[in-house]
Amino acid sequence: MTTETYRAVQVTALGQFEPVERNVTPPPPGEVRIRVEACGVCHSDVITVLGLFPHITYPRVPGHEVVGKIDALGDGVSAWSIGERVGVGFLGGPDFDCVSCRRGDFVNCLHQEVTGVTTDGGYSEVMFASASGLVAIPDELAPQDAAPLVCAGVTTYNALRNSPARSGDLVAIQGIGGLGHLGIQFARAMGMRVAVIERGGDKKELALRLGHAGVQRTAERSSDGRSAAPRTRRRSVCPNDTGRGALSHALGHGSVAHKSC
Ligand SMILES: [Zn+2]
Ligand SMILES: [Zn+2]
């Protein structure tokens, strides 16, 4: 035990945030202690803030798009070293012991913690995470770029990877938010052509910059909040590759690889 402290932001009750200072403690067995470098803000953080999962106990620190460096190892942790750069996503790590794990279905582990929901997450200078839930993050990837990849990134990447679409195919991405803007870049890096479907034109410039091949504007909202008929329907070809850089770089280096699997 040390008297050193770290700062965190915790949810104390539904909709209530509180900055706190906690003592730095050793990691429990099977876990590592991480000095957090960046934590993305995901819409799913609302699960903790508004109590949308059963049996959440408060106070709880949200945040499940975490990148940082390991600075202490709990007993029994041998696959990771102090100083390694790691990411922690929504799923806190399988136990490798339950029926699902023994069938190789680690995502549906019966005893898996949910980062920032059932355990404290990354809205903090220090967090603790199960060694089985860590992914390796290369040093050349900036923490703020890497953090969203461990939730929004893996979600869109796996959706594309497991879809029937292949290089040269046209894929449609609906909505250019935290996930969609990554989906465009993954699809382009995979050699797919991308059509963006969005409401209104607010994200058009971003979509063009990331490298989509077409615009399909859906109904816009009128002033009374109801959907109105589309004003324009446009389709264009824009072989803009500028958005490929960061993610093809990441993919090329295997940045979000499960070290434990
Ligand atoms: Zn998320
Ligand atoms: Zn399991």
- When pLDDT is cut at 50, 70 and 90, the band that residue 219 belongs to is low
User: How is the chain split among helix, strand and coil, in percent rounded to 5?
Assistant: 25, 30, 50
Task: Find the mean pLDDT for residues 49-59.
Answer: 95
Q: Which range (90-99, 132-141, 202-211, 224-233) has the least confidence?
A: 224-233
Phi, psi dihedrals of residue 106, rounded to the nearest 5°: -70, -30
Q: Which range (25-29, 91-95, 198-202, 214-218) has the least confidence?
A: 214-218
Give percent of the chain above pLDDT 70. 80
Q: State the distance from the centre of ligand 2 to the C-alpha of 104, rounded, in angstroms.
A: 9
Q: State the distance from the centre of ligand 2 to the C-alpha of 92, rounded, in angstroms.
A: 11
d(CA 204, CA 212): 10
Q: Is the pLDDT of residue 105 over 70?
A: yes
Q: State the distance from the centre of ligand 1 to the C-alpha of 236, rounded, in angstroms.
A: 32
**SS3 assignment, position 164:** coil
**SS3 assignment, position 258:** coil
Q: Is the pLDDT of residue 24 over 50?
A: yes
d(CA 254, CA 243): 18
User: pLDDT for 68-86, tens place per residue?
Assistant: 999 999 999 999 999 999 9
- Please report the domains of the chain, with CATH numbers, ordered by start residue: 5-141 (3.90.180.10), 155-252 (3.40.50.720)
pLDDT at 204: 86
Q: Is the pLDDT of residue 220 over 70?
A: no
Mean pLDDT highest for which of 91-100, 203-212, 218-227?
A: 91-100
The residue among 261 and 41 whose pLDDT is bigger is: 41
Could you tell me the two tokens for 40? 């993305």
d(CA 31, CA 42): 24
Q: State the distance from the centre of ligand 1 to the C-alpha of 150, rounded, in angstroms.
A: 8
Q: State the distance from the centre of ligand 2 to the C-alpha of 118, rounded, in angstroms.
A: 16
d(CA 182, CA 113): 26
Q: State the distance from the centre of ligand 2 to the C-alpha of 159, rounded, in angstroms.
A: 23
DSSP class of residue 257?
A: B
Q: Is the pLDDT of residue 132 over 60?
A: yes
pLDDT at 84: 98
In sequence order, the β-bridge partners of residue 130 are 31
- When pLDDT is cut at 50, 70 and 90, the band that residue 210 belongs to is confident
Q: State the distance from the centre of ligand 2 to the C-alpha of 101, rounded, in angstroms.
A: 4
DSSP for 216-241, please give it: EEEPEE-TTS-EE--S----------
Rg (the chain; Cα; Å): 20
